[in-house]
Amino acid sequence: MGTIKATCMAAAAVLLLVSATASSNDTSPIPGDPSSLKPWFRANVKPYRHRKGTLDPALEAAEAKPRTIKVRQDGSGDYRTLTDAVESIPSGNTQRVIVDIAAGVYIEKIKIEKDKPFITFKGSASNMPTLTFAGTARVYGTVYSATLQVYSAYFVASNIIIKNSAPRPGGRLKEEQAVALRIGGDKAAFYNCRLIGFQDTLCDDMGRHFFKNCYIEGTVDFIFGSGKSLYLATKINVLADQGLAVITAQARHEEDDTGFSFVHCKVNGIGKGAYLGRAWTERPRVVFAYTEMSSVVDPAGWSDNLHPERDRTVSFGEYKCKGPGSNP
């Protein structure tokens, strides 16, 4: 497999991408000092009560009178399953609906349609609920194998474990990909969530997405898709102990304004030789900035996916990263 030993962007261009994609506005880029990250976030991502008049009108209206429905497997809440809770939300929903999920293991395959925006899945940080299902590409198709599929706008999840429990692909069978989360709605946010799988864990499909203080685990292409997303202070755990391991397969086409930015993240795992990303398409765009990389990462960083001509069209970059796997 070929590697891209030098980034295809100058440091200045990388910084411009990070500033454009990984900041709240043009004048307040994410600071390089990790100790300044929390103050920056508080100053730039204020609570709803301090942002009235600045948000999308539909979002402001939805947040004005949120309602909560409770999911409890013991029957003490409004619903026993997440599927029933989601089905209770009307099509064309205009109100923030907080689905309060009690601790437990929910073996369900959940789908939130495009016409159900403004939904929040909320668990407890001290006892996080687990959403799990063993869907595979062989049965459902890759992107439809997800335990949780979200197509609606303004989805939020906090303190949730989303897992695909299908066995680890062994290379002996076809179509073993197994997605935990497919996020295809615009303006979604995930806080302190854990996404667990092997190949194709997270389908960051399309739209603008924000991941903060999350944990994402997998083997090959386990963050893939055409989203325009910021991963902030997120832990990436690579299982590179059984052959090829690749973190990202970003699927940007032509000059689409999409890409993945990883800022103040930590990349760890088992094994060695993992790539930060591969040239799955001709023009993928991925940046790692201020990120710690253990020896699980190949210092070469990137793979051209056996297409050396794509070295000229990819936008891969590392900016002020550190650790044995980095190439700052």
Single out the catalytic residue among 115, 221, 241, 257: 221
Q: Looking up tokens 């793979």, which residue turns up?
A: 303
231 vs 159: CA distance, rounded Å? 16
DSSP state of 58: H
The tokens of 132 are what? 């799990």
Q: Considering only CA atoms, which of 182, 190, 122 is closest in space to residue 149?
A: 182
Distance between CA atoms of residues 143 and 162, nearest Å: 15
**285 and 255 Cβ atoms separated by less than 8 Å:** no
Q: How far apart are CA 9 and CA 315, in angstroms?
A: 6
Contact 106, 133 (CB under 8 A): no
Looking at residue 32, its amino acid is G
SS3 145: helix
Reported in sequence order, the residue ranges of 159-289 that DSSP labels E, i.e. its strands, are 161-164, 181-183, 188-191, 194-196, 202-204, 208-212, 215-218, 220-225, 228-232, 235-240, 246-250, 259-263, 266-271, 275-278, 285-289
Q: Is 221 a catalytic residue?
A: yes
Give the span between the Cα atoms of 143 and 177, in whole angstroms: 9
Active site residues: 221
